[in-house]
Structure 1
Amino acid sequence: MMVRGTSQATLRRIASHGTGWIAGNGDIDEFTAFAARVRGQWAQAGRQGRPRTRATVMFALGDHAHTSLARAVSDYYAFAGPDYVRHVIDTAATTPDQIRATIAAYDAAGLDELVFVGNDVNPRQIDLLADLLGDELTSRIPPVRTG
């Protein structure tokens, strides 16, 4: 069971019942700091191995990426207030360079799985992301076990 959140209760749940942690839409520094706490709590609980880590990153690509993402995020997170909306927009990836930098930063931080969440109504977003990542994307997919 993967657990999402950044509270002390989240740490307890991961250490007692979880298999790992899902980081929300934050930045790499937030991920790195809380992931260290997750690993520490895991070890303190006497768990073997290490907890898995997964993070989500909002993205939009193409000519109107930033505008499309800002519109989608502003509507969806309006309840959280303008400061949070700005934070989400600022941490989203809207250029190929931002996508690559995000992958590199999370790789360096030891992340197990990065999930890109599209924030543009155009389904072509998946193609744009796949075209950008190309062979790098498929080389990271573990082989399927049969039998």
Structure 2
Amino acid sequence: MNVGIGLPIGAPDTLLTWARRADAGPFSTMGLLDRLVYDNPEPLVALAFLAGATSRIRIQTEVLLAPLRDTALMAKQAATLDRMTGGRLVLGLGIGGREDDHQVTGIDKRTRGLRLDEQMAVMRRLWSGEPYGEGVGPIGPAPARSGGPEVLFGGYRPAALERVARWGDGFLSAAAPSKAGGLFDTVRMFWKQHGRGGEPRLVAQVNVALGPQDVIDDARASAHAYYTFTGMADRMVAGMLTTPHEIRDAIVGFTDLGADEVMLYCHGLDPDQVDRLADISA
């Protein structure tokens, strides 16, 4: 089982320490969340900076809110980052749910799913080297990976799960093991219905905090603030794993469900968590 680590968004100036420690450890991937109207670093910019300070670990958006972005520019940014990191980019994409994020970008929240489908059609075409459209040539550079970087989609509804089969390479689940199995099965079903070969890549994400009580309290407070807009912040915080035993059990549980990777997402700012998590993930 590959185990990745999600980086906290509360202190961008500490992320270099997190990234270097993660790159030196057993972790397969480091991820970063995306919001617009929030005090967080922009993920593509931040991950580009961190990629330059690392050599091995993959970089992943969890998830980039694609409908808020210009399609052609996003395709160019992703291809550039994938090319310059030697194919280390994993582009996790989602539609977002905050009214204020959509308000400031002028994007209609009601049509964000349709917009993402349209964006994927354009980006797949551009990443393959085809022209943007009539009278407009290709937009380079070519990504390191033929056809574009690996794309994962997050979400829970059937439309999001089917999008994995239509446009993606895999699925990013933020559900607990008790619910993730059903989502994984649905993704696999759509994958077969669309005639896709092989298997979709399945990635699970779980919120964790490991360390003294002040580290756990910091993580819970940060996660509660982040998830307040969902109306389920208390439940999300209650599901945070805070002991080695809980984290190991989650990794085993997702392994049993057929997950290819588990992302241990940290909301607390203490970078020593990287080393503590490495000890139970190796």
TM-score (norm. length: structure 1) = 0.83
Is 1:118–1:126's contact at 8 Å kept on the other side of the alignment? no
- For structure 1, list consecutive stretches of 5 or more residues without a partner in the other structure: 138-147
SS of 1:77's equivalent in the other structure is helix
Whole-angstrom distance in 1 between the partners of 2:252 and 2:183: 18
SS of 1:50's equivalent in the other structure is coil
- 1:113 paired residue among 261, 271, 277: 261
- 2:176 paired residue among 10, 21, 27: 27
Whole-angstrom distance in 1 between the partners of 2:273 and 2:161: 34
Counterpart residue type for residue 77 of structure 1:
Y
- 1:69 paired with 2:219, answer yes
Is 2:219–2:269's contact at 8 Å kept on the other side of the alignment? no
- 1:102 paired with 2:102, answer no
Whole-angstrom distance in 2 between the partners of 1:11 and 1:121: 32
**1:63: how far off?**
1.8
9-18 or 42-51: bigger deviation: 9-18
Matched length: 131
The CA RMSD measured in Å over matched residues stands at 1.3
Higher relative helix content:
1
Deviations 1:36-91 (A, max 9, x none): 0000111111111111100111111112144222211111112222xx11221122
- For structure 2, list consecutive stretches of 5 or more residues without a partner in the other structure: 1-150
Counterpart residue type for residue 40 of structure 1:
M
Structure 1 residue aligned with 2:203: 54
Runs of 4+ in 1 over 4 A off after TM superposition: none
**1:12: how far off?**
2.5
SS of 2:205's equivalent in the other structure is strand
Structure 1 residue aligned with 2:240: 92
Counterpart residue type for residue 159 of structure 2:
A
Whole-angstrom distance in 1 between the partners of 2:193 and 2:171: 16
Counterpart residue type for residue 244 of structure 2:
P
> Between the two proteins, what is the percent identity of the paired residues?
31
Q: Which has the higher contact order (CA 8 A, sep 6+)?
A: 1
Whole-angstrom distance in 1 between the partners of 2:260 and 2:188: 13
Whole-angstrom distance in 2 between the partners of 1:37 and 1:16: 13
Structure 1 residue aligned with 2:126: none
**1:100: how far off?**
0.7
Deviations 1:3-57 (A, max 9, x none): 1111121122111111110002x21121101100000111111111111100111
